[in-house]
């Protein structure tokens, strides 16, 4: 893992935009995208650039179960509001939160991913080390699946809802193996709340109890952070 540290969030997000632009200029057309508060400043910066994704395809990491695409807290809505309405892709895929058969929907989405090899995957990191919604204990060989969200994850996302009771208890997520198939992975770890988990990732052995530790086995991972943490040697 190649870690780059920045004194300011502004510089960090500028670097992230430059990495994405470089990937696009070097021929990347299949992009795995992420959501959440960490990504909002990134997408805002991208929308101010001349990066053209009109010949690209996007796949989102995850989606809540039980929310329709136009629900204000669905990730489909998030992506439209923060990126797609300004920077449309040729095609954009997310799991269907209202699928009648969630297990079948997870399999359908995984099949799509296997038909389109991801050139570039964008990731955030949860305070418990999750990537996508792959919670601690998720097998590293997992494919896209239905997950029951940990209470800590629901609490972290509750700020986006009127109350914790409105936060869905399940979600679809790309599996860890699905994520690891991407040719290049960019992970953003921003803010003091991510210090402990980033230190655990960098110091950790390869363990399913810290899902993001799997990235140590990927040949092309860039981590951008505004935290001064030491990389394990």
Domain residue spans in the chain?
Answer: 2-225
Fold of 2-225: Rossmann fold (3.40.50)
Whole-number pLDDT of residue 43: 98
H/E element holding 4? strand 2-5
Give the pLDDT confidence of 135-146 residue by residue, as tens digits: 999 999 999 999
Q: In this model, does residue 232 exceed pLDDT 80?
A: no
Just list the catalytic residues. Answer: 62, 128, 130, 135
- Three-point CA angle 61, 66, 69, nearest 5°: 65
Q: In this model, does residue 161 exceed pLDDT 80?
A: yes
- What mean pLDDT is predicted for residues 176-205? 94
Q: In this model, does residue 163 exceed pLDDT 90?
A: no
Mean pLDDT over the full length of the chain: 94
Whole-number pLDDT of residue 233: 46
What distance in Å separates the CA atoms of residue 147 and residue 138, rounded to the nearest whole number?
9
Whole-number pLDDT of residue 229: 78
Strand partners, 134: 131
The answer to whether 188 touches 38, Cβ cutoff 8 Å, is: yes
What distance in Å separates the CA atoms of residue 179 and residue 132, rounded to the nearest whole number?
9
Give the pLDDT confidence of 89-129 residue by residue, as tens digits: 999 999 999 999 999 999 999 999 999 999 999 999 998 89
Q: Which of 124, 120, 63, 71 lies closest to 96, judged by CA?
A: 63
The answer to whether 218 touches 183, Cβ cutoff 8 Å, is: no
Give the pLDDT confidence of 47-67 residue by residue, as tens digits: 999 999 999 999 999 999 999
pLDDT interval class at 192 (50, 70, 90): very high
């Amino acid at each position: 893992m190649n870690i780059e540290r920045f004194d300011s969030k502004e510089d960090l997000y500028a670097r992230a935009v430059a990495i994405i632009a470089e990937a696009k200029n070097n021929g990347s057309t299949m992009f795995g995208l992420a959501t959440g508060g960490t990504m909002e400043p990134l997408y805002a910066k991208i929308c101010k650039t001349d990066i053209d994704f009109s010949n690209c395809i996007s796949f989102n990491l995850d989606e809540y179960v039980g929310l329709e695409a136009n629900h204000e807290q669905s990730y489909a809505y998030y992506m439209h509001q923060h990126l797609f309405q300004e920077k449309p892709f040729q095609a954009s895929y997310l799991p269907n939160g209202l699928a009648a058969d969630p297990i079948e929907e997870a399999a359908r989405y995984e099949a799509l991913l296997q038909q389109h090899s991801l050139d570039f995957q964008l990731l955030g990191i949860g305070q418990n080390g999750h990537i996508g919604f792959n919670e601690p204990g998720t097998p590293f060989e997992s494919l896209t699946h239905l997950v029951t969200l940990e209470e800590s994850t629901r609490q972290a996302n509750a700020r986006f809802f009127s109350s914790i009771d409105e936060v869905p208890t399940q979600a679809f997520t790309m599996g860890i193996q699905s994520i690891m198939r991407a040719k290049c992975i960019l992970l953003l770890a921003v803010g003091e709340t991510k210090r402990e988990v980033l230190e655990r990732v960098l110091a950790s052995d390869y363990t399913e109890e810290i899902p993001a530790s799997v990235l140590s086995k990927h040949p092309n991972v860039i981590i951008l952070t505004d935290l001064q943490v030491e990389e394990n040697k």
